[in-house]
Amino acid sequence: MVDSRFFTSIGPVTLRDMIALTGAVATTASGGTVDTGKAYSNIAPLDRAGEADISFLDNIKYVDGFASSKAGACFVREKFIARAPANMVLLVCADPYYAFALATRHFYPETAHEPGVSQQAIVDASAVIGKQVRIDAGAVIGRQVVLGDGCSIGANTVVGDGVVLGANSCVGALCSLSHTVIGQRVIIHRGVHIGQDGFGFAPSPTGIIKVPQMGRVMIADDVEIGSGTCIDRGAGPDTTIGKSTKIDNLVQIGHNVQIGKYVLIAAQCGIAGSTHIGDGTMLGGQVGLSGHISIGAKAKLAAQSGVMVDIPAGATYGGSPAVPIKDWHRQTVAMSKLIKKRASDE
């Protein structure tokens, strides 16, 4: 089911190896014995899997698809065993999605990039390039750039003077980086722009003037940044992204924004200047945050929320302007009642 033009499998893999890898317990709907020496050739989603494929059921929405699936084996929670087709080998575990992720990584191990600097890349003589670095064609590496061991820079990406990348960080094609210091194992997808000067203007006697933006962007280890995302550098303070934070595509991050560790930011969120986001927070898609506010640690913001005030740690908010999630649901119900009355009056 996986397209061999794009991915290279090390399969087949035996059930025994899958069990060793994931800790799953093999059984069937009828509790029959299972041949753990049997080999499976691939992974596949439930609706496309065949007898030689391993699949998984995580989201209850897909339980009907599970019941009719032709998958040879399937990671599944104990409570769904009764719904399984008779012939399916069940790999029972507490977290089927995690187990499937492990299985996938086993079938398709990440291949290290081939190191080497393309002859069509343009690398300034003063740049410090680590070992096992890959730089693709058309990339432009500026003065005093430091690329740690094992980094890779995609085709036609532009790395400005003085930028630093820690070891094993990977920048996709067509990115621009400037005024930025990046940690280790950071993944920057394609088309990301980091370090440009932000939207900083001051009123002056002769109209608005541009305020020089003298800060940087500081990106900690293990951060991932999605395609098309823009991160402006600080105006004076730095713009900072904390360890292991994951940012989806087309997100806007203004100057001086400080984002904590282990934050998840879904696509198309916009975070205005000088706002702080605590550790472990989660932002749904298209959320907008005003400038100069503070989002407490582990807060959750529903998709499309518009937040103009500080949010307490651990709280869940939704709506625009955002309110506690219970109030948001109450708004929806209250509104529904109001208009039902109206509809009956019409």
The set of catalytic residues is 255
Binds a second copy (CB under 8 A): choice among 83, 98, 279, 316: 98
Q: Are 307 and 322 in contact (CB under 8 A)?
A: yes
CA distances from 282 to 11, 245, 248 (A): 36, 10, 12
Residues 83/89/94/95 CA torsion (nearest 10 deg): -100
Residue 31 or 203 having the CB closest to a second copy? 203
Question: Could you tell me the smallest distance in angstroms from the CB atom of residue 331 to a second copy?
Answer: 6
Q: Which of residues 64-93 bind a second copy (CB under 8 A)?
A: none
Q: Are 222 and 244 in contact (CB under 8 A)?
A: yes
203 binds a second copy (CB under 8 A): yes
Residue 3 or 79 having the CB closest to a second copy? 3
Q: Which of residues 18-37 bind a second copy (CB under 8 A)?
A: none
Total residues interacting with a second copy, rule: CB under 8 A: 110
Binds a second copy (CB under 8 A): choice among 19, 29, 81, 155: 155
Q: Tokens representing 102?
A: 């492990």
Residue 6 or 31 having the CB closest to a second copy? 6
H, E, C per residue of 12-52: CEEHHHHHHHHCCEEECCCCCCCCCCCEECEECCCCCCCCC
Residues 6+ away with beta carbon under 8 Å from 24: 18, 75, 91, 92, 93, 99
Distance CA 163, CA 142 (A): 8
Bridge-based pairing of strands 73-76 and 89-92 is parallel
Residue 34 or 117 having the CB closest to a second copy? 117
DSSP calls for 228-287: T-EEEEPSSSPEEE-TT-EE-TT-EE-TT-EE-SS-EE-TT-EE-TT-EE-TT-EE-TT-
Q: Tokens representing 272?
A: 């205005």
What burial class does residue 239 get, using C-beta atoms within 10 Å of its C-beta: 0-12 exposed, 13-18 middle, 19+ buried? buried
Question: Could you tell me the smallest distance in angstroms from the CB atom of residue 37 to a second copy?
Answer: 25
Total number of residues shown for the chain: 346
Question: Could you tell me the smallest distance in angstroms from the CB atom of residue 325 to a second copy?
Answer: 12
Q: Which of residues 286-325 bind a second copy (CB under 8 A)?
A: 286, 288, 290, 292, 303-304, 306, 308, 320-321, 323
Residue 3 or 37 having the CB closest to a second copy? 3
Binds a second copy (CB under 8 A): choice among 25, 68, 78, 201: 201
Binding mask 165-194 for a second copy (x = CB under 8 A): -------xxx-x-xx---------xxx-x-
DSSP calls for 41-94: -EE--TTT--TTEEEE--SGGGHHHHHT---SEEEE-GGGGGGS-TTPEEEE-S
Binds a second copy (CB under 8 A): choice among 36, 41, 196, 316: 196
Residue 131 or 330 having the CB closest to a second copy? 330
Binds a second copy (CB under 8 A): choice among 15, 24, 40, 136: 136
Taking CB under 8 A as the binding criterion, the range among 29-37, 70-78, 80-88, 335-343 that sits at the site for a second copy is 335-343
Give 334-340 contacts, CB < 8 A, sequence gap 24+: none
Residue 25 or 338 having the CB closest to a second copy? 338
Question: Could you tell me the smallest distance in angstroms from the CB atom of residue 28 to a second copy?
Answer: 23
Q: Which of residues 36-55 bind a second copy (CB under 8 A)?
A: 43-45, 47-48
Question: Could you tell me the smallest distance in angstroms from the CB atom of residue 27 to a second copy?
Answer: 23
Q: Which of residues 252-291 bind a second copy (CB under 8 A)?
A: 252, 254, 262, 264, 266-268, 270, 272, 285-286, 288, 290
